[in-house]
């Protein structure tokens, strides 16, 4: 006999779909089938059942081979590394739950470390812009029920957040959007003709790296001021047409992704996009929302901000929290040679950082806490496999619109495996002993 579990939360992307159904074996030890999730989410659930999964910590030997060690030895290595380092980095946190993140912050404070999450290579620039000029935002429920003007700027949900459009932004029939897709106008701004752009009513094919100019041109167009004939490769008439379409809606939303946060101008792009939103509120109701990637990167920002006052790139080396991306952000610290130990959890910098930032990780004491084999485990000295968050352990996480949702445990982890939180608590307690504060 098998059991079907309903209302499961998908721990893949920031959309946090909460209608997933999974089928598990009667003893709750095997996950057999997944329904309603997108192909990426399905794979995330099923991957926990991989037969070749690493289930015990491994320490790299001098000849490059791995040696299996106990969790206690892994705790000792991690705590000693953090106790000795002058400037350790605790990086990642975006694919783990808020409970584990909070224990991680205790470790950061004890070891006077730098701590950062994946926003550093993702929506960190958004957070800088939000601090600069604020954020008129809403929840995805409001988008579903009210929005009739949808703008996707520098993002491609058709591939990156596959169920976003069907659950919230384009297709669903909401309270005031009874005709679903028919009641919405879609504007996509992207230099490429993506699968999302193919569905758009208006596709503004912006020149690469000229989003800031195009956003400024929209603001000028709202005010009916003079514009050059062509801005960012787009004729002025087309910009004015898009501006009118935005102004004429009852409720609009700008969703934006890595295409604007990590291309030329970075935080300024978002700063200007927020200013566009603010301007539009003089004519109608408009909101803006980042398309967050990792399922709990938003939660990591919340926990950092709640405990340290800043949402990412926090430097605690002087005993108080400082924040200045460019100085305290992980890639800059690694490339400039400012760190002497690296602790990675719930993220894969080995795959996402530039190679000049990955090489230093291989040359310093390093720990990677991750259920998978990744490029980061490949360059780290110690690999600590843990239970899959959102599959083998529950915990709190935040959706991209800052709505907290509790993930559910659906299947047992392999015998004897620790969760992120359990491992971190052991490291914290050992570190307290080493620092003489236990």
Euclidean distance between CA atoms 302 and 286, whole angstroms? 24
Pair 120, 145: CB distance under 8 Å? no
Q: Decide whether 91 or 222 has the Cβ nearer to other proteins.
A: 222
If one asks whether residue 112 binds other proteins (CB under 8 A), the answer comes out as yes
CB of 221 to other proteins, least distance (A): 8
Q: Decide whether 11 or 88 has the Cβ nearer to other proteins.
A: 88
Helix (H) or strand (E) holding 58: strand 58-60
Q: Which residue in 327, 356, 359, 433 binds other proteins (CB under 8 A)?
A: 327
Q: Decide whether 305 or 373 has the Cβ nearer to other proteins.
A: 305
> Which pair of tokens denotes residue 314?
């926090």
Q: How would you class 165 by CB atoms within 10 Å of its CB: exposed for 0-12, middle for 13-18, buried for 19 or more?
A: buried
If one asks whether residue 223 binds other proteins (CB under 8 A), the answer comes out as yes
Q: Which residue in 1, 26, 319, 415 binds other proteins (CB under 8 A)?
A: 319
Q: 272: helix, coil or strand?
A: helix
If one asks whether residue 225 binds other proteins (CB under 8 A), the answer comes out as yes
What letter would DSSP give residue 206? Answer: P
Q: At what angle do helices 98-110 and 297-308 cross, to 10 degrees?
A: 40
Calculate the dihedral angle through the C-alpha atoms of 355, 358, 360, 361, rounding to the nearest 10 degrees: -170
If one asks whether residue 123 binds other proteins (CB under 8 A), the answer comes out as no
If one asks whether residue 87 binds other proteins (CB under 8 A), the answer comes out as yes
CB of 305 to other proteins, least distance (A): 12
CB of 254 to other proteins, least distance (A): 16
If one asks whether residue 98 binds other proteins (CB under 8 A), the answer comes out as no
Q: Which residue in 60, 164, 184, 210 binds other proteins (CB under 8 A)?
A: 210
CA distances from 406 to 8, 20, 146, 284, 419 (A): 10, 14, 26, 34, 16
Q: Which residue in 85, 170, 397, 431 binds other proteins (CB under 8 A)?
A: 85
Contact track, other proteins, 240-269, x by CB under 8 A: ------------------------xx--x-
Q: 308: helix, coil or strand?
A: helix
CB of 214 to other proteins, least distance (A): 8
CB of 169 to other proteins, least distance (A): 26
Q: Decide whether 225 or 415 has the Cβ nearer to other proteins.
A: 225
Pair 36, 21: CB distance under 8 Å? yes
CB of 216 to other proteins, least distance (A): 5
Calculate the dihedral angle through the C-alpha atoms of 149, 154, 160, 164, rounding to the nearest 10 degrees: -10
Q: 321: helix, coil or strand?
A: coil
> What is the 3-state composition of the chain as percent helix, strand, coil, each rounded to the nearest 5?
40, 20, 40
CB of 292 to other proteins, least distance (A): 20
**Unique residue bearing structure tokens 């098998």:** 2
Residues that bind other proteins (CB under 8 A): 85-87, 111-113, 128, 131-132, 210, 212-213, 216-220, 222-223, 225-228, 231, 264-265, 268, 271-272, 275, 279, 316-319, 323-327, 336-340
């Amino acid at each position: 006999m098998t059991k079907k579990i309903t209302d499961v939360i998908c721990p893949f992307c920031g959309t946090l779909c909460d209608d997933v159904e999974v089928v598990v074996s009667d003893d709750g030890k095997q996950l057999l089938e997944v329904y309603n999730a997108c192909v990426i989410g399905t794979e995330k659930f099923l991957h926990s059942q991989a037969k070749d999964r690493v289930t015990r910590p491994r320490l790299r030997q001098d000849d490059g081979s791995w040696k299996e060690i106990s969790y206690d030895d892994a705790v000792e290595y991690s705590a000693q590394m953090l106790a000795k380092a002058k400037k350790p980095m605790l990086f990642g946190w975006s694919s783990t739950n808020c409970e584990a993140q909070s224990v991680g912050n205790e470790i950061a404070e004890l070891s006077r470390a730098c701590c950062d999450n994946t926003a550093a290579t993702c929506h960190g620039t958004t957070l800088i812009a939000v601090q600069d000029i604020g954020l008129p935002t809403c929840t995805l429920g409001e988008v579903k029920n009210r929005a009739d003007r949808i703008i996707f700027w520098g993002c491609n949900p058709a591939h990156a957040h596959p169920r976003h459009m069907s659950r919230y932004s384009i297709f669903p029939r909401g309270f005031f959007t009874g005709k679903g897709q028919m009641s919405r106008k879609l504007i996509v701004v992207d230099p490429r003709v993506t699968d999302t752009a193919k569905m758009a009513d208006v596709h503004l094919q912006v020149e690469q790296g000229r989003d800031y100019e195009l956003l400024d041109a929209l603001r000028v167009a709202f005010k009916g001021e003079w514009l050059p004939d062509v801005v960012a490769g787009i004729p002025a008439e087309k910009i004015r047409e898009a501006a009118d379409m935005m102004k004429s809606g009852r409720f609009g939303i700008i969703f934006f992704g890595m295409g604007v946060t990590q291309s030329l101008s970075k935080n300024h792009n978002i700063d200007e996009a927020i200013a566009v939103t603010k301007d539009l509120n003089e004519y109608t109701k408009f909101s803006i929302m980042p398309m967050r990637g990792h399922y709990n990167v938003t939660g990591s920002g919340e926990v950092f901000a709640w405990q340290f006052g800043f949402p990412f790139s926090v430097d605690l080396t002087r005993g108080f929290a400082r924040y200045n991306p460019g100085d305290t952000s992980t890639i800059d610290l690694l490339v400039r040679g400012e760190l002497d130990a690296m602790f990675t959890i719930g993220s894969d910098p080995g795959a996402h950082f530039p190679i000049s930032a990955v090489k230093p990780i291989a040359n310093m004491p390093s720990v990677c806490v991750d259920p998978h084999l990744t490029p980061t485990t490949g360059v780290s000295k110690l690999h600590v496999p843990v239970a899959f968050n959102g599959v083998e352990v529950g915990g709190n996480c935040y959706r991209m619109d800052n709505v907290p949702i509790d993930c559910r445990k659906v299947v047992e982890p392999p015998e004897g495996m620790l969760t992120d939180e359990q491992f971190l608590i052991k490291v914290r307690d050992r570190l307290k002993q080493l620092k003489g504060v236990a």
